[in-house]
C-alpha cells in the first residue's frame, strides 16, 4: 500500500453522505476503483456518477443485516473480482438518553455500529486475503475512548468496536490484512450536524471536517497506521481520562453544563 491507492479496489460503507461520501470521492480522485454501499440507492447512483475515473459500482446495503452484507461481498467479487481495502464507516447515533424504548434503540445502534463492521470483515476476509497485503479501516469515534453523556448506546457501540478492533488486529495481520482505527471527534455531517457547537463562538473550534477524516483514513491505509484521531489534538483528551480520571470527570461536567446542548440524530447512511 506504500505506493498509494491508485489501482486499488476499495469498498466504503455508509457512503451516501458525510465521511463515507467524502472518502469515496477522494479515493476515486487518487485512482482507486470503488464499490460504495449504503441504504439509499438514489444517493449511491449520484455518487458513482460524480466520482472521477471509471469502473465504480454501488450496492444498496444495510450493514445491520448479515445477509445484505454477504450480498455486498458477492457483488464485489462478481463485479470487481478483488478487494484491497474495506472501510467500515456506516453508523448512526440513535436517540439520546434513557428515553422510551431505549433498550430497543441500543440494540439497533449496536447492530449497525458494532456488528455491521464484524459482518463486513467476516464476509470480506477471503477476498482481502487473496489481495494481501490488504487493509481494513474501522471508523470508530473519540466517543469509543471517552464516554459521552447523553448518547450511551452510541458510546457503547464505539467502545465495543475499538476494543474488538485492537483485540483482533494481530490475528488479521497474520492473514495479510492490516486493521486500523480512525476515531473522529465532532465532525459536522448530514447525520451529525453539530449545530450546537457550530453556533458557539468558542466551542466551534472543537469541530473537524469530513475532509480531515478522509485524509486520516487514507493515511491509515497507505502508511499502515493502527490508529488516527481526527482532529489530531483530540488524542490529548485521552491522557487525563486515563491518568487522572477524577479531574477529567469534573472538567467534563463543567464543559457539558456551560456548552451548547447537543442532541443525537437518529440518522443512518
Residue positions annotated with a catalytic role:
154
Single out the residue of 217, 214, 146, 125 nearest to residue 180, CA to CA.
217
- Measure the CA angle with vertex 55, ends 49 and 59; round to 5°: 70
Secondary structure (DSSP) of the chain: -TT-STT-EEEEESTTSHHHHHHHHHHHHTT-EEEEEES-HHHHHHHHHHSSSS--EEEE--TTSHHHHHHHHHHHHHHTS--SEEEE------S-TT-TTHHHHHHHHHIIIIIHHHHHHHHHHHHHHHT-SEEEEEE--GGGTS--TT-HHHHHHHHHHHHHHHHHHHHHHTTTEEEEEEEE-S---SS---HHHHTSTTGGGG---HHHHHHHHHHHHHTT-SEEEESGGGGGGHHHHHH-HHHHHHHHHHHHHHSPP--------
Q: How many CA atoms lie within 13 A of 136 on its CB side?
A: 29
Q: Give 91: exposed, middle or buried? Use CB within 10 Å, 0-12, 13-18, 19+.
A: buried
Amino acid at each position: 500500500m506504500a505506493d498509494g491507492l491508485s489501482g486499488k479496489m476499495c469498498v466504503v460503507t455508509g457512503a451516501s453522505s458525510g465521511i463515507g461520501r467524502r472518502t469515496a470521492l477522494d479515493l476515486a480522485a487518487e485512482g482507486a476503483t470503488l464499490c460504495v454501499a449504503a441504504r439509499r440507492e438514489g444517493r449511491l447512483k449520484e455518487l458513482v456518477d460524480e466520482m472521477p475515473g471509471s469502473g465504480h459500482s454501488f450496492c444498496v446495503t444495510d450493514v445491520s443485516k448479515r445477509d445484505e452484507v454477504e450480498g455486498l461481498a458477492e457483488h464485489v467479487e462478481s463485479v470487481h473480482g478483488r478487494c484491497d481495502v474495506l472501510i467500515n464507516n456506516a453508523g448512526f447515533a440513535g436517540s439520546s438518553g434513557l428515553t422510551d424504548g431505549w433498550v430497543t434503540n441500543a440494540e439497533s445502534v449496536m447492530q449497525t455500529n458494532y456488528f455491521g463492521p464484524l459482518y463486513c470483515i467476516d464476509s470480506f476476509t477471503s477476498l482481502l486475503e487473496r489481495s494481501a497485503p490488504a487493509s481494513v479501516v474501522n471508523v470508530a469515534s473519540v466517543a469509543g475512548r471517552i464516554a459521552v453523556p447523553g448518547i450511551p448506546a452510541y458510546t457503547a457501540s464505539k467502545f465495543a468496536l475499538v476494543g474488538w478492533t485492537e483485540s483482533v488486529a494481530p490475528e488479521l495481520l497474520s492473514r495479510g490484512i492490516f486493521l486500523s482505527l480512525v476515531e473522529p471527534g465532532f465532525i459536522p455531517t448530514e447525520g451529525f450536524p453539530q449545530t450546537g457547537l457550530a453556533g458557539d463562538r468558542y466551542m466551534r473550534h472543537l469541530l473537524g471536517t469530513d475532509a480531515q477524516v478522509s485524509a486520516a483514513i487514507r493515511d491509515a491505509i497507505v502508511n499502515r497506521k493502527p490508529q488516527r484521531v481526527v482532529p489530531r489534538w483530540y488524542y490529548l483528551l485521552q491522557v487525563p481520562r486515563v491518568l487522572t480520571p477524577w479531574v477529567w470527570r469534573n472538567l467534563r461536567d463543567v464543559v457539558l453544563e456551560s456548552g451548547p446542548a447537543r442532541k443525537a440524530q437518529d440518522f443512518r447512511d
